[in-house]
Structure 1
Amino acid sequence: MDRAGLAEFLTRRREALQPEDVGLPRGERRRTPGLRREEVAMLARMSTDYLSRLEQQRGPQPSDQMLTAISRALHLSLAERDHLFALGGHAAPHRVARGDHVPPGLLRILDRLDDTPAMVVNSAGETLVQTRPATALLGDETRHTGLERSVVYRWFSDAAHRSHIPADDHDHHSRAHAARLRRAVAVEGDRSRPAEISRALLAESAEFRALWEQHDVDVALDTSSKRIAHPELGIVEVNCQTLIDPDQGLSLLVYTATPGSPSHEKLAMLSAVTPV
């Protein structure tokens, strides 16, 4: 771990960003250049004290999960992310097998959707980052670890994870999840993350095995309308618009509802139940 290099890099990248670059208000009496430490800490979901210690060359070695969070908060490019990992004493994530880097351009779009349910998902169905309204609508999908990071794995391995989808829609979601994973494995190969998830599910889920054997790859989910069972708002009918980054294998999902509809009013109410 290069403490001096890490401290300098974090400070310089923080100072190079303006609040508008990450979707934050500028506010008044801003005297320091770039972002404040507390703003970066909030974006990375870490304590300001932890970031301060890293910038002062006295913090512990950050984990790769923490470096990933810092990379997203600072909107680092892929090369900058790899450099951050090297300074932190970790090997850079494999660029093909681990598609969890969200490019700055996609993050900038997400920052401007701070009042809209939206999130970035990789080809394995792992949610990498969510807006707060998305967390309020769907729960914190970034908290999971291991195979459970994948919504596809959770869907077939634990029935409790289906509670946010009405029971009448479960069959369609099952077929769509299996089809999406099938497409991802075909593109990324047998050594990819989607392939790892498919092997685990083939061993654990009879339902998944039956769907996998059908070799269906043309079932829409992310681009279709769907119903979400919210614990406080009831059924919310949304349309999911998808922006795809083909180079990174990422999808930006944006949930909207028909203006004037009851579901549109419910989405507007999400701010009242959005976690701070």
Structure 2
Amino acid sequence: MADRSELAAFLRSRRERLTPSDVGLPDGINRRAPGLRRQEVAQLAGISVDYLVRLEQARGSHPSRQVLAALARALMLGVDEREYLYRMAGEHPPTVTGPNRIVPQSVRIILDTIATPAYVADATFEVLAWNRAAVPFLGDFDESPGADRNMVRWMFAQAVDHPSWSEESTREFARSVVADLRAAYARYPGNPALAALLTELLGVSPRFADMWATHEVEVRRTHQKHVDHPELGPLDFECQILHVSDTDQRIIVYCAAPGTRTAAIFHALATAGSK
């Protein structure tokens, strides 16, 4: 149900928080009130000033979804704010059609400065960015085509009788990945890339098909991991998962207890070649 008074107040507050430079307009002079002028927002959204005035005064006709989308862009609304705008107008928020694969610059800075293996993956387990310390675990993706950067594809490309599948920890991790992928399937209904990945996995991996058929749904969480690395030896660490706001991306960080052999190896990987 629409709340016209709250919609009006919300539009005013979002307009008043912006400056002309935020949206690429000149600052101008004689600004007696904070924020953008109504005519500036109307220009950015492609609507009339009179119509915006009526919306901000809780008058006039019900805004269409096209107008709401234009206002969300003009006011530079975040994901949560955009959803709120639609709901206050009595509309269902637009469906997100697919995972966001643009890694924010701030996240790349985190990867480059953190002294432990870390990488970024989207909701379909596509690896989008990684740091130097993660290369011994993921491989050098700069030498790999995009299709080889999906963690689910790697995991279930292994033969059913591969020795790693005999480990309970491997099977539990695989089940958690499949449950997380099903949660993504619900968030992005009809997404062609996700549908193609599922079709591929169901066709080539009986183990994936069996796990998918259980209909387990669970967003992936932090877990303990033991790795017998062919070059680095046995490693014990925690996979900490940090969610990147407004993107549905995750930063996966390998966290070893301070003072351990694993921590020393992670630090050495992160600092190798930096001197």
Shorter chain as denominator, the TM-score bin is: 0.5 to 0.7
By how many angstroms is 1:181 displaced?
0.9
Structure 1 residues 180, 205: CA separation in 2 closer, same or farther (over 3 Å shift)?
same
Question: Aligned residue for 2:242?
Answer: 243
Does 2:195 correspond to 1:195? yes
Structure 2 Cα separation of the partners of residues 157 and 126 of structure 1: 15
Q: Is the 8 A contact 2:236 2:262 kept in 1?
A: yes
Q: Is the 8 A contact 1:132 1:274 kept in 2?
A: no
Structure 2 Cα separation of the partners of residues 137 and 201 of structure 1: 22
Question: Aligned residue for 1:232?
Answer: 231
Equivalent residue letter for 1:217? V
By how many angstroms is 1:102 displaced?
0.4
Between Structure 1 and Structure 2, how many residues are aligned?
179
Q: Helix, strand or coil: the match of 1:214?
A: coil
* Superposition RMSD in Å: 3.1
Structure 2 Cα separation of the partners of residues 145 and 159 of structure 1: 22
Equivalent residue letter for 2:112? D
Structure 2 Cα separation of the partners of residues 216 and 209 of structure 1: 12
Structure 2 Cα separation of the partners of residues 214 and 247 of structure 1: 30
CA offset digits 1:169-200 (Å, max 9, x no partner):
22112212211211111111122533321121
Equivalent residue letter for 2:152? V
CA offset digits 1:221-249 (Å, max 9, x no partner):
x5111112222121211112222124222
Structure 2 Cα separation of the partners of residues 112 and 163 of structure 1: 36
TM-score (normalizing by structure 2): 0.56
Q: Helix, strand or coil: the match of 1:258?
A: coil
By how many angstroms is 1:146 displaced?
5.0
Structure 1 Cα separation of the partners of residues 239 and 103 of structure 2: 19
Question: For residues 91-130 of structure 1, what are the structure 2 equivalents within 5 Å?
Answer: 96-97=97-98, 99-113=100-114, 115-130=115-130
Equivalent residue letter for 1:135? V
By how many angstroms is 1:156 displaced?
0.8
CA offset digits 1:116-136 (Å, max 9, x no partner):
211111111111111101113
Question: Percent of pairs identical after alignment?
Answer: 30
CA offset digits 1:137-184 (Å, max 9, x no partner):
432246443543211012112349x88999442211221221121111
CA offset digits 1:58-87 (Å, max 9, x no partner):
xxxxxxxxxxxxxxxxxxxxxxxxxxxxxx
Higher relative contact order (CA 8 A, sep 6+): 2
Equivalent residue letter for 1:101? I
Moved over 4 A (4+): 162-166, 271-276
CA offset digits 1:78-128 (Å, max 9, x no partner):
xxxxxxxxxxxxxxxxx9535321012222222321x32111111111111
Structure 1 residues 169, 240: CA separation in 2 closer, same or farther (over 3 Å shift)?
same
Equivalent residue letter for 2:250? S
Structure 1 residues 181, 142: CA separation in 2 closer, same or farther (over 3 Å shift)?
farther
Equivalent residue letter for 2:224? S
TM-score (normalizing by structure 1): 0.56
Equivalent residue letter for 1:104? Q
Q: Is the 8 A contact 2:165 2:171 kept in 1?
A: no
Structure 2 Cα separation of the partners of residues 230 and 122 of structure 1: 25
Structure 1 residues 141, 165: CA separation in 2 closer, same or farther (over 3 Å shift)?
farther
CA offset digits 1:3-56 (Å, max 9, x no partner):
xxxxxxxxxxxxxxxxxxxxxxxxxxxxxxxxxxxxxxxxxxxxxxxxxxxxxx
Structure 2 Cα separation of the partners of residues 182 and 142 of structure 1: 29
Q: Which has the larger radius of gyration?
A: 2
Structure 1 Cα separation of the partners of residues 112 and 267 of structure 2: 18
Structure 1 unaligned spans of 5+? 1-94
